[in-house]
Amino acid sequence: MHPNNKNSFKSKKKFIDRREAKSQDIKRALTHRARLRKNYFKLLEKEGLQEEGKPEDENDIRPTKKKGINFEERAAIVKQRKEEKRKFKLASVQAKLEKIESNSKERALKREQLKKSTTKGQPLMGPRINDLLDKIKKNEMS
C-alpha cells in the first residue's frame, strides 16, 4: 500500500459489528422460514388438504385462560395488605411499649428495696445480697 494510492482503504475489510451481523442473520432466517411455511400452506390448499396445525372442528372446547383481576380487586388486595402490615406494626409497637413499662416498674421496685436502710442510716444487706444472687442466677442461665 502506497500512501499516494487513493484506493488503499477500499481493499481493507469493512468493520462488521457482530451484534448487527447476528441480528441480520436471525431476521434473514425468520423471513426464510415464514416464506417456506406460507408456500407449504398454499400447496396444501391447492391439493385440497387441511392444514395440520388446525383442528377439523371449529367448535372444539378450548381451555379458557384466566383473566387477570380487575383494578378494584387489586386495589382491595393492596388495601388489605397495607392494613395487615399496619396492624402488625401497631402490635409490635404495643408489645415494645409494654416491655419498656414493665422493665421500668421492675427497676423502680429494685431501687426502693435497695434504698432501705436501718434506723441509724446504714443500708440493709439482705436486699443487696438477694439482688447479687439473682444476678448470678441470670448469668448461669444465659
Amino acid at 7: N
Query: Residue 51 in contact with residue 44, Cβ under 8 Å?
Result: yes
Coil, strand or helix at 51: coil
Cα-to-chain-centroid distance, residue 35:
43
pLDDT tens by residue, 102-136: 999 999 999 998 999 999 999 999 999 999 999 99
**Across-strand partners of 117?**
123
- pLDDT tens for 14-38 read 777 889 889 999 999 999 999 999 9
pTM of the model: 0.42
Backbone angles phi, psi at 63, to 5 degrees: -65, 130
Segments making up each domain of the chain, as ranges: 18-47+71-141
Host H or E run for residue 73 = helix 71-115
